[in-house]
Amino acid sequence: MFKARFVDRRLINMKDEFHVKAWTKHLAVDRKMLEQLIAKVGNSATAVKKELGRA
């Protein structure tokens, strides 16, 4: 049986491969760049978008 799970869309979860693929596609960056951005500003999607100049 499928168990639903809560996904906080405000945060980027680098441990979830599906999440990483979705965010790299949405932000048009590769995984390495996404990791660097998260290391710099944290895993908040808003902070990452702001760092990219897209917020």
- Give the span between the Cα atoms of 19 and 29, in whole angstroms: 13
d(CA 55, CA 21): 20
**What is the per-residue pLDDT for 13?**
92
Task: For residue range 9-54, list pLDDT tens digits in order.
Answer: 899 999 999 889 999 999 999 999 999 999 999 999 999 999 999 8
Helices (H), 1-55: 17-27, 31-41, 45-52
| The length of the chain, given as a count of residues | 55
Q: What is the pTM of this model?
A: 0.82
Q: With a cut of 70, say whether residue 5 has pLDDT above it.
A: no
Side-chain-facing half-sphere of 40: CA atoms under 13 Å: 13
- 54 neighbors 46 (Cβ within 8 angstroms): no
Residue 3 pLDDT > 70:
no
